[in-house]
Amino acid sequence: MVEINHATKVVVLTGAGISAESGIKTFRAADGLWENHAIEDVATPHAWKKNPELVWNFYQGRRNQLTEVEPNPAHKSLVTLEEFLGDNFLLVTQNVDDLHSRAGSNNLIHMHGELRILRCEQCHETFDMMQQEHLTADYVACPNCANQRLRPHIVWFHEMPFQLPEIYAAVEECDIFMTVGTSGHVYPAAGLIDVAKQAGALCVGVNLDEPMNYGMHDEFHQGKAGELLPNLVDEWVS
């Protein structure tokens, strides 16, 4: 049974499932992104070197989709939770869409990067680039240096997720760890629940199917995040 007050420390880990009801495909569903694209062709540093055009077009398609989707009630309910908990709340997302921030989440870490952002591999600057000219471009040149080809600011397979020290520090300290819409296939994200559990946190899950790490959850709510999460959060904060 979850009981929270303003001093309760909560970390929420979200995955593709929370954006599914907004119309963004998950990765591992039958019609998911990884059924239609080989990971090694579009989501590795090697692919970017070997066939940048294919990789660029794949991410340009996903960047363009951001202009057609909106946050859903699940994204919004996490804003309600953050408003209640303030700095005791941290949202860690594996999603590269911008729906959490557009919903209004602030204490937010994009551990797998962000579609909105492009990065220069030469001067290491990042740029938020969602203007039409960038969304339709074959490649985007770095505004800062001579590099003609910015890369997506995405953590590809074989690369290190962002802000791991901050994530682990928060998970080790939290009272409640919650997973939403993630299948538990991809590490280190999938292993955060082990860290939380060892630290004594109550682990709560909301997911359409049982995730790989289902057994680590103390409380599991099976169904759609957009339907279940707003009710859960309302119960917690009332």
Site for ligand APR, rule CB under 6 A = 15-17, 20-21, 26-28, 32, 94, 112, 181-183, 185-186, 207-209, 211, 224-226
For residue 187, the minimal CB distance to ligand APR (Å) is: 10
For residue 208, the minimal CB distance to ligand APR (Å) is: 4
Q: Which is nearer to ligand APR, 175 or 184 (CB)?
A: 184
Q: Which is nearer to ligand APR, 142 or 190 (CB)?
A: 190
Amino acid at 74: A
Q: Which distant-in-sequence residues (6+ apart) come within 8 Å of 131 by Cβ?
A: none
Q: Which of 75, 100, 110, 112 is catalytic?
A: 112
| Closest residue to bound ligand APR by CB | 17
As beta bridge partners, residue 177 has 11, 203
Question: Is residue 112 flagged as an active site residue?
Answer: yes
Pairing mode, strands 10-14 and 176-180: parallel
Q: Cβ distance 37 to 119 under 8 Å?
A: no
The upper half-sphere exposure of residue 89, i.e. CA atoms within 13 Å in the direction of its Cβ, equals 21
For residue 225, the minimal CB distance to ligand APR (Å) is: 4
| CA 209/CA 182 separation, integer angstroms | 9
Q: Which is nearer to ligand APR, 17 or 71 (CB)?
A: 17
Which residues carry out catalysis? 112
